[in-house]
Amino acid sequence: MKPLPRTASCRGFTLVEMLVVLFIIGALMLASLPSGGHKIDQAGISESVNLIRIYQPQVELYYLSNGEFPEDNEAVGMPEPQSIAGNFLRAVHQQDGALHLEMGNKIRPELQGKFLSLRPIFVPGVENTPISWICGNDEVPPNMLAAGENRTDIESFRLPLSCR
């Protein structure tokens, strides 16, 4: 049996051509993967939320004692806003019961100066009702009210799950 003659139509791909195609496909796949930066943001924000949890009982006690939420840091006995700081937290502003965490320090540049709000929620018109808290853009449950303004301006995908 005679071997087939080599013509231009029978020619295959060379190893170099195959490697170039595989490299291009790999680069496109890598570019389409989502960035893991939001996980770093979530970790920094979670650390900041945990850092300020000690001030929530103070706000709750003030409300239970006075029937209203405190106006500012001084009213509830908290340090000045810039005195409450952490690795990713620049300051904490307490206003009308809400704790507004100002992000800064070692947080990524996209979040410098942005805010996350923790707001107390309660059943209106009922004395000695327990107080719970919502974080960020979380919804207020039916028949409850949230104290203070939500100043959260951080994109939802950067927030921990409990704050979305």
Question: What band does 18 get if pLDDT is binned at 50, 70 and 90?
Answer: confident
pLDDT tens for each residue of 33-91:
666 678 889 999 999 999 999 999 999 999 999 999 999 999 999 999 999 999 999 99
Q: What pLDDT was estimated at residue 7?
A: 59
Which of 116, 120, 101 is CA-nearest to residue 61?
120
Contacts of residue 101, defined as CB under 8 A and 6 or more positions apart, other chains included, come to 45, 48, 49, 52, 89, 92, 115, 116, 117, 118
Can you tell me the mean pLDDT for 111-133? Answer: 94
Q: What pLDDT was estimated at residue 8?
A: 56
Q: What pLDDT was estimated at residue 90?
A: 97
Which of 57, 60, 45, 62 is CA-nearest to residue 117?
45
Give the domains, in start order, of the chain with CATH numbers.
37-163 (3.30.700.10)
Amino acid identity, position 39: K
**What is the model's pTM?**
0.78
Q: What pLDDT was estimated at residue 9?
A: 59
